[in-house]
Amino acid sequence: MTAQTAARRVVTNISLSLDGRYAAPDDPLNMGWVMPYAHTDVARAHMAGLWGPATTALLGRVNAEGFLGFWPTVIDSEGVDPRDEAFARWLVDTDKVVLSTTLGEAPWERTVIVDRPTAEVVTDLRATEGGDILVLSSASVIKALLAADQVDRLALTIFPVFLGGGPRLFADGLPAGQWALADQAAGEHGTLSLVYDRVR
């Protein structure tokens, strides 16, 4: 089997507001708008379906600091949802690649810091053995991969709120192409999870 036929899937996941934003205009790092919806059954099931087949997490520096600063603290915490703890354990135990121009070494276990173009890094990862490469909410990484047409599965959680401004995930000039709906679910508060596969 050649590296081409054994290529790993690149799966990206991000939360969006109903008006298509991934961050609020006043404070892009404040994800408070997500929290009322992120702990719903549909959101947790959505995440479980994504990290289950994945053996590598790919993150930008900002998201790595957020995810890896928070999720390990969930493990063995009293009253934590088992689904959240399972994701936390996966994140700690899986191989992680963090794209950064400023970090010299990784402060986290099982983590490699890479200062190279996103598309190049993913091309190299695809050629290695393993399961899915999961990009966790890192908008800059997802945007670069969409622009390079390197996303195989696009997972979105849509929350029923207008942010009224802020950065959008889908910019003009992305490669034209078709996507097939692979999974969908609706949950509490009007939350939607959508999973699309790239048709090639």
pLDDT bucket at 7, cuts 50 / 70 / 90: confident
Domain segments of the chain: what residues? 35-148
Percent of all residues in the chain with a pLDDT value above 70, rounded to a whole number: 97
pLDDT > 90: what percent of the chain?
76
Q: Tell me the pLDDT tens digit for each residue of 148-182.
A: 999 999 999 999 999 999 999 998 999 999 999 99
Superfamily for the 35-148 domain: Dihydrofolate Reductase, subunit A (3.40.430.10)
Burial class for 76, CB neighbours closer than 10 Å (0-12, 13-18, 19+): exposed
Mean pLDDT of all residues in 106-111:
91
Mean per-residue pLDDT, 4-24: 88
Kindly give, in sequence order, each residue whose CB lies less than 8 Å from that of residue 166, ignoring residues fewer than 6 positions away: 17, 21, 22, 23, 24, 25, 28
Dihedral, 148, 198, 129, 96 alpha carbons, nearest 10: 60
Q: Is the pLDDT of residue 1 over 80?
A: no
pLDDT for the residue numbered 27: 84
The two structure tokens encoding residue 44: 């947790």
Torsion sign across C-alpha atoms 77, 83, 86, 88: negative
The full length of the chain comes to 200
* Contact assessment for residue 93 and residue 107, using Cβ atoms and an 8 Å cutoff: no
More confident residue, 28 or 185: 185
